[in-house]
Every structure is written in C-alpha cells, then in structure tokens.
C-alpha cells in the first residue's frame, strides 16, 4: 500500500508541475471565466478538499472516489482508520455505508422484478398466504411501497434501543424477531414514512424471491468483484474495515460495537469508496439493470391520491433513490447515510455518466450530499455562468456579512500549481455560524478554489464544504447548506 501511495503522490506532483508551468490569464471585472484559463489538476484539488474537510470537521478518517463512464478516475484517502493502531485510511479501507445500503436493496428488487421473480406491486401476502416473517395485518403492503417508504412501516422506536447486540443469519429471521406484534402507522400507499425496518422486510422479500440469503444474493448478483460486504466490524478478523468513532465535546472516542445484521439491506453494509463509486458506475453503464428497470427505480413514485412521494427536504422519491438536481441544475440520483460511527453518500449524474462517493468513520452534522457534490466538482465541466475573480496573494482582510453583521477576517492567500487557496482566521461568532454539534467550532479554516482564480471555491468548515461563488473581482457569496442562507464576502 505504501508503494501505491508513493506512486500516486509522484504522479500528482508531476501533473501539478506541468500545470504550474502554464501561463495564467488575467481575469477581468464581471466577465465570464474563459475556458482556456489554467487551473489545478482535478485530483490535486479533490485531495486538498478532502484533507481540509476532514481536518475542519474533526472526523478521524475519510475516503472518496469518482467514476466516469465506468472508469475510476480518482480515489482519495485522509486521516486515520484506526487511531489506537496509528493505521491510516488507504484505498483498501472499508467504511460503514449506513442507509446508503438501501440502494443495493432497491436495485436487488428491480433486478428480481426484471427477471420475473418478484412482482413489486403485488401484496406480500399474495394468494392469501402471508409468509411467517410478515407481521400480522401487514399482508397488503407491496415491495415497491417498502422501497419508496410508503408502506406505513414504523422506523426505529423506543423498544429498538436494544438492537445491534445479536447476529442474525437472514433478513427473515430478523423480521420475525424484531417486527412481530407491531402495527402499521399508516394505510399502505398513503403517506411517506421513512423506515429502515421497511428495508428489513424488503430484504426478506428478496430472500424469498431469490431463494438465497440477502448477503449471498448481493454477492452473487450485484456486487461481484467489489469490496462491498456485510458489516462485520465486531469480528476481530475484519482488519480492513475502519474503526467507528464518536465525536465528543473533548475529542474523539471509539463507538460502541454494533451488529447491523438486523437490517443488512437498510443499514448494514460496508465498502471502500472506490467500490461504492464503481458500483454506481455499473448501474449507470447498464450492467446491473435494463434501461426499463433502471428508469423505474429513478421515476417518482406516487401516493394513492396522485401526489408524488417526497421526503421532508423536498426531494422526489424513486424506488429507494432520491431524485433531485445539483447546484448547476443537473439531474441527480442519490442517497446518504448516518449511523453510529459513519456518514456516507453516493451521488450519480446520469447525464454525465458520473458517480461519486464520500465515506467517513464518525457521525457528524453535515449536508454530506453537498460535500460529495463539491468534492467531485473538479471532475465536471465548469459552470457556464462563473464570474472572473483573480486569486489574491499574501495577507488580506476579508469581510463576511450575515444578517446585518459584518465580520472582518484575516486571510493568507496563495497560488501554487494552479490552485488558489487561503487560510482564514475566523472570529468566534463566525466560527459558531459554520459549526454544529457534535463538531467543535474551528477558528482556522481553509478556502480552496474549484475553478480558475477564485471564481468558484469551497470553504472547508466543521459543517463540511460550503460553496463559494464570485459575484465580482473581489466579492463572493457563501451558501450555507441547511437553509440555503447566503453570506456575502468582500475583500480589498
């Protein structure tokens, strides 16, 4: 692995040196950025963003990857996979996927439907003979409703606080133990109610349709040759998986062991960032599903009254996949995950044939889909409406204006190898604005350009990456992810 990292580093340095030798065009006031303006190599920018984001968040370790047209074009690693053993994150490190696991279950449903082995719209108790793993009174729900979170199945409840301390050999066994005696919370097909237990049931239906355990079906039909598997972190032999951590007010602690076999298909898989992005690439390339069934999982689902199913943030809901648009208006298919010891995301751009993953080994407050979008931005074409903003050099003061308050921030700018970046020293109030528990506020943060000069960039904060867009040669807007709040920025 060390040899691999030395080879990768040497390649990046050689690439960066070649780009640094190019002449830099002078940006003009409020004019569009010219395509020929040199910028840093994509891999160099992405790695700088990943390192800065990990440092600002306090998360011990992160990994990310980008796949274009089915080919891995970048994978990055940052921080520690195991603090106690001083083991760094590398390209073989596997992270918990949390709810990104649901994408595999939804795709498995579509694959079995494509093969005629499951009718996704038929009641699970077809022919009046409910399976023994289906709770009484739940026979009318369908696999498609489970996948779109419209079956009325409860999510984790108070009685589930004890979950994670028992290993199950199948999803059907987990459903029998955990869901017996429960009631539906809504009439099937009438409401959106997010439920990981619904994905335990969907995994059980996949076992019934395939004649295999969920884990065996996944390995044999959907993830061949990829480092994607059930989370076995509780087992000492699983040295390739990152340890899981909890952020506290005083630092970082190792998270309590947790067995996710009660919902492998809802929250229980691990993967390397490259394997996850490559799996997304396979789906985009038509290797896993036919065009008909791929479009089915990416089509908005409908409630019984004709309304489109939407999750609370407003994204349309497909079969397991969330359907929205990125900051540039491009169609996006995605899902994120959050659990003890993990935040995760997988984003697909069908129009570009691109997939991007971001995985981490602690639970932290962030809009991780936005982080993944900005982290992978160097590999997509520049937006056509960028405004030229030359990269300053040396010491400057930058003014941040928010809700009538102005904060004057010392900043040190530099430009090397085509990469414009700055170190900012935030006052306490601004540091608090860019943070949320369990992360601690951070006074020193990094600004890293995503395009030529400072036309577009990302500020790496405890909240993650915040988009920076120039509005003039010495002015910009900074977008906070939670409420799309805009902070205006000026410098002399």
pLDDT at 123: 95
> Could you give the CA distance from residue 217 to residue 260 in angstroms, rounded to a whole number?
17
The rounded Cα 222 to chain-centroid distance in angstroms is 20
pLDDT digits (tens, 9 = 90+) for 56-115: 999 999 999 999 999 999 999 999 999 999 999 999 999 999 999 999 999 999 999 999
Strands (E), 174-321: 228-230, 245-248, 251-254, 269-271, 316-317
* Degrees, nearest 5: CA angle 235-239-243: 80
Strands 419-425 and 405-416: antiparallel
DSSP state of 268: -
Three-class DSSP category at 155 = coil
DSSP state of 420: E
Q: Name the stretches of the chain with pLDDT < 70.
A: 1-39, 127-128, 233-238, 482-485
Within 13 A of 42's CA, how many CA atoms are on the CB side? Answer: 15
**Cα four-point dihedral sign 322, 325, 327, 328:** positive
Multiple choice CATH, 96-363, 3.40.710.10, 3.30.1490.20, 3.30.420.40, 3.40.50.300? 3.40.710.10
> Could you give the CA distance from residue 292 to residue 271 in angstroms, rounded to a whole number?
27
H helices present in 246-290, as ranges: 264-267, 273-284
Beta bridge partner(s), residue 363: 246
Residues 6+ apart with CB under 8 A from 167: 259, 261
Beta bridge partner(s), residue 325: 331
Q: At 337, give phi and psi (nearest 5°).
A: -140, 150
Contact between 444 and 428 (Cβ < 8 Å): no
For the chain, domain boundaries: 2-14+24-58+386-490, 96-363
Q: What is the largest CA-CA distance in the chain?
A: 75
Per the listing, tokens 């494509």 go with 114
Contact between 269 and 231 (Cβ < 8 Å): yes
- Please tell me the total number of residues recorded for the chain in this structure: 492
Contact between 245 and 253 (Cβ < 8 Å): yes
pTM across the whole model? 0.90
Strands (E), 52-99: 61-68, 71-82, 87-88, 95-96
Retrieve residue 31's tokens.
């004019």
């Amino acid at each position: 692995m060390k040899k691999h990292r030395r080879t990768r580093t040497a390649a990046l340095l050689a690439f960066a040196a070649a780009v640094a030798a190019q002449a830099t065009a002078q940006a003009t006031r409020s004019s569009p950025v010219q395509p020929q303006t040199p910028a840093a190599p994509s891999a160099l920018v992405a790695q700088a963003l990943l390192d800065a984001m990990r440092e600002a968040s306090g998360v011990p370790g992160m990994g990310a990857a980008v796949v274009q047209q089915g080919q891995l074009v970048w994978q990055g690693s940052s921080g520690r996979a195991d603090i106690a053993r001083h083991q760094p994150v590398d390209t073989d490190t596997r992270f918990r996927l949390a709810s990104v696991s649901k994408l595999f279950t939804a795709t498995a449903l579509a694959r079995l439907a494509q093969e005629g082995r499951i009718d996704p719209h038929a009641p699970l108790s077809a022919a009046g003979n409910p399976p023994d793993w289906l709770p009484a009174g739940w026979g009318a729900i369908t696999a498609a409703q489970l996948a779109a979170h419209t079956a009325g199945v409860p999510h984790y409840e108070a009685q589930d606080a004890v979950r994670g301390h028992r290993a199950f050999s199948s999803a059907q066994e987990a459903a029998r133990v955990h869901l017996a005696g429960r009631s539906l919370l809504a009439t099937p097909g009438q409401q959106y109610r997010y439920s990981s237990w619904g994905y335990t049931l969907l995994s059980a239906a996949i076992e019934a349709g395939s004649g295999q355990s969920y884990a065996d079906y996944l390995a044999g039909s959907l993830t061949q040759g990829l480092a994607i598997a059930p989370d076995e972190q509780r087992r000492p032999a699983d040295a390739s998986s990152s340890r899981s951590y909890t952020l506290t007010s005083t630092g970082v602690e190792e998270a309590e062991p947790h067995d996710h076999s009660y919902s492998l298909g809802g929250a229980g898989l691990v993967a390397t960032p490259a394997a996850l992005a490559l799996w997304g690439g396979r789906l985009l390339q038509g290797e896993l599903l036919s065009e008909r069934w791929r479009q089915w999982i990416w089509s908005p689902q409908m409630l019984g009254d004709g309304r489109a199913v939407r999750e609370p943030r407003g994204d349309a809901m497909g079969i397991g996949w969330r359907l929205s648009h990125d900051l540039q208006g491009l169609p996006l298919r995605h899902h994120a995950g959050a659990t003890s010891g993990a935040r995760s995301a997988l984003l697909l751009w069908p129009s570009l044939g691109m997939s991007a993953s971001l995985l981490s080994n602690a639970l932290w407050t962030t809009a991780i889909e936005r982080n993944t979008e900005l982290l992978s931005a160097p590999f997509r074409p520049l937006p056509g409406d960028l405004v030229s903003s030359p990269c300053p050099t040396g010491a400057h003061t930058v003014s941040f204006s928010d809700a009538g308050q102005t904060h004057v921030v010392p900043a040190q700018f530099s430009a090397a190898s085509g990469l414009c970046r700055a170190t900012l020293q935030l006052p306490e109030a601004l540091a608090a604005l860019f943070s949320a528990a369990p992360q601690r506020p951070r006074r020193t943060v990094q600004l890293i350009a995503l395009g030529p000069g400072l036309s577009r960039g990302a500020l790496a904060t405890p909240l993650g990456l915040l988009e920076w867009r120039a509005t003039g040669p010495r002015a910009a807007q900074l977008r906070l992810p939670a409420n799309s709040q805009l902070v205006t920025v000026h410098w002399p």
